[in-house]
C-alpha cells in the first residue's frame, strides 16, 4: 500500500499520534529484563499492548537497538515483524544517508519489498551529502510507494546552526523543503499525498507552519513533544487534506521513574498517557476517556 494512503487511512482511524519506541532499560520496568533478546521484544510488546486500537503508527529509533550490538538489531527485526502483524504502520527512524551504491544498499535494507527482515513502511533520511544521494530512497517511493521522511528542520536546540542559515538568501531548510515538495508531487498516492515527506520538529511551530505551506502534498513527521516541549495541538492544527502531520512522542509516553511497576501496570500507564496526548491533539473528547 502507498505510504500516503497508509497515512491517510491510519490518521482517519486513529488520529496523528505516532508511538516512538526508544528502548532504554533504565526508563522501563525491571520486570522487562535488560538483555537484548528479552528486553527489546518484551518492551515493544508492552508498548503495542498500550497502543492497541488507539495509535496507527509506531516509530522505532534504530540507535537504541544498535546500542545493544548485533543482538539488538536482530531484536529490531523481530519487533518490526510484531508491529506489522498487529497492523501498525512502521516508521524506522535511522537517519541514513550515503553516496551512490551505498545509499542504494540502505534503500535495499529498509525500503525494498521482500528484501529482508528490516523492511519497514517508511524511513528517515539525511540530506547532508546532497540531493542526488537521496535518489535510491526516492526511487523506492516511486516504485513501491514506500515512505521517506527527509530531515528538513530537526527538533533539537542547535538545529539552526546549519538548517536555519541562508545560502543566497534562502534558508537551508527551505532549500530542502523545495526538493521534498517536488519529490512528493512525483510520488502521489490515491489521496493525493506524496510518499516523500519531511521531518520538522514540533519545537519550532512557526517554522513548521511555513514549511507545511511549502510542502502541500507531503506528510510531515513532527517529533519533539513531551520532554522537548513541542505543542501537540498546534502541530495537529497544521494538517491539511493532502498534508497530514504525524506527531511522535517517545519518552513522553514510555519513560517511567518507578521501575518496580509490573508489566501490566506499565501497559496501563502507557495507555493513559496515549489517551492524554490524543485529547491534546483533539482526537478524543475529554469525556471519551
Q: Which residues are catalytic?
A: 95
Residue 42 or 133 with smaller CB distance to its own copies: 133
Site map (CB under 8 A) of its own copies, residues 141-170, x = contact: ----------x--xxxxxxxxxx-xxxx--
Stretch that binds its own copies, among 9-17, 62-70, 257-265, 273-281 (CB under 8 A): 62-70
Nearest approach, Cβ of 287 to its own copies (angstroms)?
A: 36
Based on C-alpha coordinates, what's the Rg of the chain?
Answer: 18
Kindly report each contact of residues 280-289 with a partner whose C-beta sits within 8 Å and lies 24 or more positions away, as own/partner: 280/232, 280/233, 281/15, 281/16, 281/17, 281/232, 281/233, 281/235, 281/236, 281/247, 282/233, 282/236, 283/14, 283/15, 283/16, 283/17, 283/236, 284/15
Residue 11 or 107 with smaller CB distance to its own copies: 107
Stretch that binds its own copies, among 7-15, 51-59, 124-132, 182-190 (CB under 8 A): 124-132
According to the binding rule CB under 8 A, does residue 131 interact with its own copies? Answer: yes
* Residue matched to cell numbers 510520488: 187
133, 178 Cβ separation under 8 angstroms: no
According to the binding rule CB under 8 A, does residue 204 interact with its own copies? Answer: no
Give dist(CA 186, CA 193) in Å, integer.
10
Residue 154 or 242 with smaller CB distance to its own copies: 154
Sole binder of its own copies in the list 1, 12, 38, 69 (CB under 8 A): 69
Nearest approach, Cβ of 176 to its own copies (angstroms)?
A: 9
Sole binder of its own copies in the list 18, 28, 118, 238 (CB under 8 A): 118
According to the binding rule CB under 8 A, does residue 126 interact with its own copies? Answer: yes
For 120-183, give the DSSP string.
Answer: -SEEEE--TT-GGGGHHHHHHHHHH--EEEEEEE-SSGGGHHHHT-EETTEEHHHHHHHHHHHH
Give dist(CA 271, CA 279) in Å, integer.
12
List residues near its own copies by CB under 8 A.
22, 24, 61, 63-64, 66-74, 76-77, 93, 95-103, 105-106, 108-110, 115-118, 126-133, 151, 154-163, 165-168, 172, 175
Amino acid at each position: 500500500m502507498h505510504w500516503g494512503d497508509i497515512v491517510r487511512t491510519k490518521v482517519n482511524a486513529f488520529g496523528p499520534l505516532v508511538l516512538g519506541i526508544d528502548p532504554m532499560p533504565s526508563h522501563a520496568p525491571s520486570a522487562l529484563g535488560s538483555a537484548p533478546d528479552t528486553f527489546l521484544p518484551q518492551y515493544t510488546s508492552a508498548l503495542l499492548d498500550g497502543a492497541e486500537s488507539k495509535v496507527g503508527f509506531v516509530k522505532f529509533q534504530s540507535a537504541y537497538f544498535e546500542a545493544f550490538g548485533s543482538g539488538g538489531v536482530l531484536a529490531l527485526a523481530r519487533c518490526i515483524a510484531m508491529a506489522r502483524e498487529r497492523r501498525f504502520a512502521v516508521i524506522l527512524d535511522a537517519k541514513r544517508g550515503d553516496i551512490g551504491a551505498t545509499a542504494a544498499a540502505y534503500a535495499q535494507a529498509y525500503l525494498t519489498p521482500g528484501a529482508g527482515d528490516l523492511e519497514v513502511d517508511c524511513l528517515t533520511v539525511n540530506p547532508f551529502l546532497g540531493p542526488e544521494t537521496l535518489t535510491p530512497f526516492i526511487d523506492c517511493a516511486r516504485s513501491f510507494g514506500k515512505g521517506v521522511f527527509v530531515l528538513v528542520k530537526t527538533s533539537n536546540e542547535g538545529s539552526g546552526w546549519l538548517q536555519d542559515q541562508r545560502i543566497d538568501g534562502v534558508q537551508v531548510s527551505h532549500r530542502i523543503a523545495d526538493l521534498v515538495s517536488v519529490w512528493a508531487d512525483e510520488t502521489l498516492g490515491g489521496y493525493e499525498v506524496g510518499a516523500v515527506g519531511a521531518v520538522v520538529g514540533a519545537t519550532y511551530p512557526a517554522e513548521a507552519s511555513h514549511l507545511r505551506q511549502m510542502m502541500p502534498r507531503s506528510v510531515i513527521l513532527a517529533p519533539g513533544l513531551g520532554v522537548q516541549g513541542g505543542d501537540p495541538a498546534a502541530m495537529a492544527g497544521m494538517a491539511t487534506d493532502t498534508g497530514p502531520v504525524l506527531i511522535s512522542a517517545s519518552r513522553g509516553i514510555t519513560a517511567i521513574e518507578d521501575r518496580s511497576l509490573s508489566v501490566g501496570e506499565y501497559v496501563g500507564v502507557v495507555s493513559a498517557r496515549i489517551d492524554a496526548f490524543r485529547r491534546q491533539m483533539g482526537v478524543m473528547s475529554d469525556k471519551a476517556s
